[in-house]
Amino acid sequence: MLKGRELTTFRQQLLAWFRQYQRDLPWRRSKDPYRIWLSEIMLQQTRVAAVIPYYQRFLQRFPDIHTLAAAPQEEVLRLWSGLGYYSRARNLQRAAQEIVARHGGVFPRAEKDALGLPGIGSYTAAAILSIAYGAKHAVLDGNVARVLARLFAVQGDLRDAEHWRSLQESANALLDPESPGDWNQAVMELGATLCTPQSPQCLLCPVAQFCQARKLGLADLLPARRKKRATENITLAVAILLDPRGHTLLLPPPALPRGKAAHAQVSMLVSKLWHFPTIAVRTDPAAELRAHLNEILPRSMTKRPLHLEPLPAARHAVTHHAITLQPFRVSATELPRMPGANTILLSDVTSPSSLAISNLTRKAARAARATPAALSARV
């Protein structure tokens, strides 16, 4: 561990580099805890470039905690639509409501209060409290852990409880007490731009002289790769019902009918948002989807066999699920009326001002729009 003069030089060099070369990101222009909190939540598992337009749109509609707390959840999800991991949006709004109810509409300054909010763990609390309020909390996430593991040549699985605890201690010891917010951002920036998972750019690194992994020639090998969770292959059959005016049917979250394990899985894969009738299939997508439609649609629509027109399949990934998406167009003279369901122009399904849908549903809608009816064969 660095101490004394070495530690001072280390901090000075990293902070000077950050202040000169940091990326100009919208959330760095503000110390408003709400804006910092929103950016931290959106950036979880999501690239900076993907987050920026969502962040700006979200703030236009919900400029402060009060407007977010008071909004219909459907609208919050709609503005999150396409960003993925929708529990983040649901938790964000629940936390905003708690902040209004218990903290006077201001993001709490005490760590224990921040940690009591939905969707806020120790990393997020440390990031918000240090950047917005200058509190002395060191951040530790996978990105920071990688930088620390290289600086101190830590071997083994960083997510082991013992390793993680020791990395948190290192992060706490390195934290610059004069500028905790800038310090945390500097370590994160180093991990995001130079000390990247593959091919770290050690020649440009402002703290290369302190790095044990570089000295030992291990920079490319640390941290040790984690064992990946086995990929689960799933095929989903999706029915895009279409009437002659181009309207389609979307089901509300969660999937209908409830209760079966297969439906619970589909509900999770469509992120508990609006979706086309969808089912996980094993052997014959058309036959299994037809059976599912017979089960959920009104008898008036299914008394004659439904024609399912296969559309080009698409690939989709959600966490460790590798999904093959098999959409079918189902032409109908009239769309069924179902409790809670919505009918909407197919061309509007992917519009940002429309209903909240997942990327999986978006891909199915695009497949239907891109394939003229005459080109697809009947099953």
Residue with Cβ nearer ligand SF4 (205 or 364): 205
Cα 151 to Cα 163: distance, rounded to the nearest angstrom: 14
Does 272 bind ligand SF4 (CB under 6 A)? Our answer is no
Q: For residue 8, what is the DSSP state?
A: H
Cα 235 to Cα 210: distance, rounded to the nearest angstrom: 50
The structure tokens listed for 69 are 């707390």
CB of 25 to ligand SF4, least distance (A): 20
Binding residue for ligand SF4, selected from 171, 205, 237, 344, defined by CB under 6 A: 205
Q: How many residues bind ligand SF4 (CB under 6 A)?
A: 15
Does 83 bind ligand SF4 (CB under 6 A)? Our answer is no
Does 202 bind ligand SF4 (CB under 6 A)? Our answer is yes
Site for ligand SF4 in 295-314 (CB under 6 A): none
CB of 297 to ligand SF4, least distance (A): 57
CB of 198 to ligand SF4, least distance (A): 12
CB of 154 to ligand SF4, least distance (A): 12
Residue with Cβ nearer ligand SF4 (211 or 367): 211
Cα 345 to Cα 235: distance, rounded to the nearest angstrom: 26
Cα 99 to Cα 26: distance, rounded to the nearest angstrom: 24
Site for ligand SF4 in 207-236 (CB under 6 A): 207-208, 211, 213-214, 219
Give the residue numbers annotated as catalytic, written as ranges: 40
Residue with Cβ nearer ligand SF4 (127 or 144): 144
Does 316 bind ligand SF4 (CB under 6 A)? Our answer is no
Does 158 bind ligand SF4 (CB under 6 A)? Our answer is no
Q: Which residues pair with 4 in a beta bridge?
A: none
Does 149 bind ligand SF4 (CB under 6 A)? Our answer is no
Q: Coil, strand, or helix at residue 254?
A: coil
Cβ-based neighbours of 313, under 8 Å, separated by 6 or more: 324, 325, 326, 327
Binding residue for ligand SF4, selected from 195, 238, 279, 297, defined by CB under 6 A: 195
**Assign residue 6 a region: left if phi > 0, alpha if psi is -120 to 50, beta otherwise?**
alpha
Cα 333 to Cα 347: distance, rounded to the nearest angstrom: 18
Does 194 bind ligand SF4 (CB under 6 A)? Our answer is yes
Residue with Cβ nearer ligand SF4 (155 or 201): 201
CB of 218 to ligand SF4, least distance (A): 8
State which amino acid sits at residue 332. A
Residue with Cβ nearer ligand SF4 (128 or 208): 208
How many Å is the maximal CA-CA distance in the chain? 82
Q: Where are the alpha helices (DSSP H) in the chain?
A: 4-21, 33-43, 48-61, 65-70, 73-80, 87-102, 111-115, 122-133, 142-151, 161-174, 180-193, 212-216, 261-269, 285-296, 299-302, 359-370
**Chain contacts with ligand SF4 (rule: CB under 6 A):** 147, 150-151, 194-195, 200-202, 205, 207-208, 211, 213-214, 219
